[in-house]
Amino acid sequence: MTFSNAFNYILYDNPLSQTVIGVTKSTVEMIKPTKEITPTTIKVITERIPLYKQVAEHGPFIRIAGIMGASAVALGAYGAHRKYPKDRVDELKPIFETANRFHFFHTLALLGVPFSRNPKISAMLFICGTGLFTGACYYRAFTGKDTYGKLAPVGGTLLIIAWLSMVV
């Protein structure tokens, strides 16, 4: 038996291959469409809708983003000019800076929420996540107490889910 004969036997002539080929052929015959499929007409929208009208339906999210942005600026100014205890400056100031940075980033992300597939879900996740994460960090930076420290990972997880909800 030559190599090509052995190869043909393995692929085509043995009983198992014959069964697989037969089942495949009959399955293909069964799923073939019985009538011809005709293409449908697709309507192309040529009218340009202004961005402010597209976003108007989700106006509350834009307003909440405005409030969050204003509070991020106010808290940023307060934290930048606040006198931290001298023995804990190296610990508390970076916590404040992280909280403020995340506050700004996720405020900007909230502006893009109306363009996601599920804007209400994404917005609520961003708002709750930002509140929990930055709230816990701000509290620790301003008071020095870690009372609400366990809320920061919960808020961070909500923010991750919020980002993922924008692409799903």
Q: For the segment 94-135, what is each residue's pLDDT rounded down to a tens digit? A: 999 999 999 999 999 998 888 888 888 999 999 999 999 999
pLDDT at 24: 73
Average pLDDT value for residue range 81-104? 93
pTM higher than 0.85, yes or no?
Answer: no
Does residue 67 have a pLDDT over 80? yes
Q: pLDDT confidence of 61, banded at 50, 70, 90?
A: confident
What are the DSSP calls for the chain, one per residue?
Answer: --HHHHHHIIIIISHHHHHHHHHHHHHHHHHS-SS---PPP-PPP-PPPPHHHHHGGGHHHHHHHHHHHHHHHHHHHHHHH----GGGHHHHHHHHHHHHHHHHHHHHHHHHGGGSSSHHHHHHHHHHHHHHHHHHHHHHHHH---TTTTHHHHHHHHHHHHHHHTT-
Whether the pLDDT of residue 148 is over 80: the answer is yes
Q: Where are the domains of the chain?
A: 1-38, 51-165
In this prediction, residue 141 has a pLDDT band, given cuts at 50, 70 and 90, of very high
| The pLDDT value given to residue 48 | 78
Per-residue pLDDT at 81: 92
Mean pLDDT of 17-45: 69
Q: Region 11-36: what's the mean pLDDT? A: 70
